[in-house]
Amino acid sequence: MTRRATIAGTGSALPVRRVTNDELALTVDTTDAWIVERTGIRARHIAGDGETTASLGSEAARRAIEAAGLAPTDIDLIVLATATPDQTFPATATKVQDALGIRDCVAFDVAAVCSGFLYALSVADSMIRGGTSTNALVIGAETFSRILDWEDRTTCVLFGDGAGAVVLTAEDNADDATARGVLATALHADGRHNQLLYVDGGPSTTGTVGKLRMKGSEVFRHAVVNLAAVLAEAVEKAGLAVRDIDWVVPHQANRRILDATARKLGLPPERVVITVDEHANTSAASVPLALDVAVRDGRIQRGDVIVLEAMGGGFTWGAAVVRY
C-alpha cells in the first residue's frame, strides 16, 4: 500500500458573457471562417465587471469541494495556477481561501502559464504523498481577456476566461497502476524560448501589467513535439501504454494541435476531450475546465485512466497520468 492523491471532486466556472467569433469580427479584422478553420474556436467567455481570477477560482473551488462531499474547512492546502492574478500580491490562492471561509491552510500561487495546472497538480500530489496535506484544492484560474491586445488579431481571438478546480484527497492504495489516484507526473521547462510567448510588461521591468505577445506558428511547432513526448513519458512512468489510456484531457489551445498530437501518438480522436470550441484557450484553467466538463457529462467514469497535458509560455510543459 502507498499514500496516493486521488481526485475526489471537480468543479469549474465561466464568466456570464459568451462572445462569438462573429461578435469579435465587428471590432477586429477577422472572420468566423478563419478562426474556426485555423483553431476550432467558435466562442469564448469574457469576464465582466466584478468577475476576476479570484471570483472565478472561488466558484470552481466551491463546486469541486461540494462534488468531493467535503466542507471548505476540510481543505488544508490551496495551490492556484494563474498568469493573471487579481493583484501582483497577495497570492490569489489566499483570496480564494478567504472567499471560502477557510481560516488556516497553506495557500500559494504557481506561475507556469498554460501548463500551470500541471505544475500545481504535481506540487499538491507531492505534498499529499509526503504527508503534509490530506485534502488539497488545486485550481487553474485566468482572466486573459485583461492582458490581451484587442487590436492584435493574431492573439486576441484565441483566448478566453474561466476557472477549473479539483480536490485531491489522500488515500492508501495499491502500489501499482491498478490504484486510483495520480500515478505519474512529468514536468519540463526550457527558458530559451521565452521570447516566443510572453507579456511585454511586469512589475520589475516596466511597472505595468503588459500585453500578451506570441509567435503563434513557432509555438505551434514546439507544442506538437513537446506534448507528444511528455505524454508518452508520463504514461511510461506510470507503467502503462498508450493503449491503456481511456481519456486525454489536453490543454485547449488549438484544435489542430490536439488532432496532430493524437495522430502522432496513434490515439483515437474520440478519446480526446475537446472544449476549445466553446472556451477558447483559457491558459491554466483549460485542463481542469475540460476535465470537469467530461466528468459531469458522464464520459469520464471512476476507474478510467486519464492523461492531462499542457504546454505554455516559458516554454513550460507537462503531463499527468491519473486513475480517476
Closest CA to 162 of 309, 291, 33: 291
Q: Is 156 a catalytic residue?
A: no
223 binds ligand UT7 (CB under 6 A): yes
Q: With CB under 6 A as the contact rule, which of the stretches 72-80, 102-110, 153-161, 271-279 interacts with ligand UT7?
A: 153-161
User: Quick check: 7 and 65 in contact, CB under 8 A?
Assistant: no
Q: Is 45 a catalytic residue?
A: no
Q: For residues 131 and 3, give the distance between their C-alpha atoms in angstroms, rounded to a whole number.
A: 8
Q: With CB under 6 A as the contact rule, which of the stretches 103-111, 202-210, 212-220, 236-244 interacts with ligand UT7?
A: 212-220
Identity of residue 314: G
User: Quick check: 304 and 296 in contact, CB under 8 A?
Assistant: no
**Backbone CA torsion sign across 5, 140, 289, 68:** positive
For residue 41, give the DSSP letter. Answer: -
Q: Which of 157, 166, 196, 272 is in the footprint of ligand UT7 by CB under 6 A?
A: 157
Q: Is 251 a catalytic residue?
A: yes
User: Does residue 50 sit in helix, strand or coil?
Assistant: coil
187 binds ligand UT7 (CB under 6 A): no
Closest approach of Cβ 171 to ligand UT7, in Å? 32
259 binds ligand UT7 (CB under 6 A): no
Q: Which of 148, 257, 284, 289 is in the footprint of ligand UT7 by CB under 6 A?
A: 257
Size of the site for ligand UT7 (CB under 6 A): 20
- Pairing type for strands 106-110 and 212-214 reads unpaired
Q: For residues 288 and 30, give the distance between their C-alpha atoms in angstroms, rounded to a whole number.
A: 29
- Pairing type for strands 77-81 and 43-46 reads unpaired
Q: Which of 254, 261, 282, 316 is in the footprint of ligand UT7 by CB under 6 A?
A: 254
What's the grid cell of residue 10? 471537480
Closer Cβ to ligand UT7, 144 or 324, answer by number? 144
153 binds ligand UT7 (CB under 6 A): yes
Closest approach of Cβ 143 to ligand UT7, in Å? 15
38 binds ligand UT7 (CB under 6 A): yes
User: Quick check: 248 and 262 in contact, CB under 8 A?
Assistant: yes
Binding-site ranges for ligand UT7 (CB under 6 A):
30, 34, 38-39, 114, 153-154, 157-158, 216-217, 219-220, 223, 253-254, 257, 281, 311-312
Q: Which residues are catalytic?
A: 114, 251, 281
